[in-house]
Structure formats: structure tokens, C-alpha cells
Amino acid sequence: MNSIKTIIVEDDIANHRRLKQLLEKYCENIQIVGVAETKEAAIKMIEVNSPDLVFLDIELPDGNGFEILNHFIPISFKIIFCTGHQEHAYQAIKFHAVDYLLKPVNITELINAVKFVPPIEMDDGYRNKIEGFRRQIIDPDKITLIDSAGFKVLETSEIIKLEANINYTDIYLVENRKLTYCKILKEFEDLLKFHKNFIRTHRSFIVNLDHVKSFSRQGIIKLTGEQVAHCGDSYKEEFLSHFIQPG
């Protein structure tokens, strides 16, 4: 079994000690070549050791994990992100299908994450996933969408509505544009829940409140660009609260 040269980037001593102990005990193909507690130390360590894998904390005392990635574009090593409390980061990680571990690290999740490292190809698809996640966190007012051709970065203000289409989601944009992605609407709902302008109005619709033009008591929402969405009875009270003050 080929060993996987690995660096741990984690500023919390208790966390990186636990991760190191678990890797040494349960993941025999992992060869830990260093542990870095800061951004600068991590950059130097990666440059010297050329690792195959980096366990990357997002928040560091002198910066963040994305600044490390920026230094190494194009990325030549695989990454397992480690996150503890950044809910937005957690949703973006899931959305972009990037591997991650929640702290404190669970043994089973760690073993499974390491197991899938060797088959992952360091191709444009993998790099696009990492880049999409990086952009999503750096600029939360934009959404990065990945497909087989690469990725697109959209201003959230461009999005009029999202509509479920079986196992796909159709995204309707200003200027009569439309995109379709192989993700269910719930995944977009999770990603956008930190954007106050987006609200689920129906099992099949998410709308951007800034693009709402009118609403009928029959549950029809008219939007920018002659787009239409529906508002289900169970969503109606929350939707109306954004436009009609009580009392």
C-alpha cells in the first residue's frame, strides 16, 4: 500500500493532537510529515514536503485556509477541510461535494474520508470543486456553480427564482437567462439560507424577494422578467411577513 504524505494544518493543539493520534492508529497508509499551526508555517511546510494530502483548518490565527490555497494555485495536493462552527462554510462544503470533517473528529468519518483519497484524480473537476468552495466563502454575495464544463460565478442578485425539476434545479436569471444543475432544490435551499433575500415558497420554488412584483391570494407570485412562482399554504405566512407588517 502506497503511503500518503500528509500535513495537518490546525491551530488548536488539542484538535491536531487528536487528529494525529487517530490517523496513526486507524489509517496506516497515512504518513504524517508535519503539523502547522499558522498560515505561514503551513505554506513553508507544503513547499518543502510536497504532500499528497492536507487536512486544512479554515480559520487560522494569521489568516485562513483559502490564503494557503491561493498560494498554491493550481493546487497539487488533495484536501480534507476541517470545520468546527462556521455554518456557512459547512453548507458550502456540502454543496460543492468537497470532503470535510466536523470537529471534534469522528473516527468512522475520518477513516471513510481517508479511504477515498487515493481514487480521487487531481484533475480539473477536483480543482473546480475546491475553487468553487473557496469563492463561495470569500464572497458570500455570489454563488459558484459547477458543471462538467467548469464553473460559473453568479451574483445572487441575478437570481430571480429556483425551480425544482425532478432531480435537477432550474435557475432563472435576469435578462431571460436560465441554467439547470443536477442538484435537488433542497441543496440550494441549504446553501442560500444565509442569504436573507431568498425564501422557500413552495416545495418546487425558492424566490428572491427583491424580484417579487406582486402576489395574489390564490398563491401566485409574479416576479421580474414575467417569471411566476407559487406560494403554498404552509409557506404563505412567512412569505407575506416580508411585505406586510402586522397590526
Q: How far apart are CA 170 and CA 161, in angstroms?
A: 8
- Sign of the Cα torsion 150, 153, 159, 163 reads positive
Contact 87, 78 (CB under 8 A): no
Give the integer Cα–Cα distance in Å for 98 and 35: 22
Q: Quote the pLDDT of residue 31.
A: 96
Average pLDDT over the chain, rounded to whole? Answer: 92
Q: How far apart are the C-alpha atoms of 207 and 16, rounded to whole Å? A: 42
Domains of the chain: 4-138 (3.40.50.2300), 147-241 (2.40.50.1020)
Please write the tens of the pLDDT for every residue from 165-204: 999 999 999 999 999 999 999 999 999 988 889 999 999 9
| 175 exposure class (CB count in 10 Å sphere: 0-12, 13-18, 19+) | exposed
Beta-strand runs (E) in the chain: 4-9, 30-36, 53-57, 59-60, 63-64, 78-83, 100-102, 142-147, 150-155, 159-165, 168-173, 177-181, 198-202, 205-208, 212-215, 220-223, 228-230
Encode pLDDT of 80-135 as tens digits.
Answer: 999 886 677 888 888 887 899 988 899 999 999 999 899 888 988 898 889 888 88
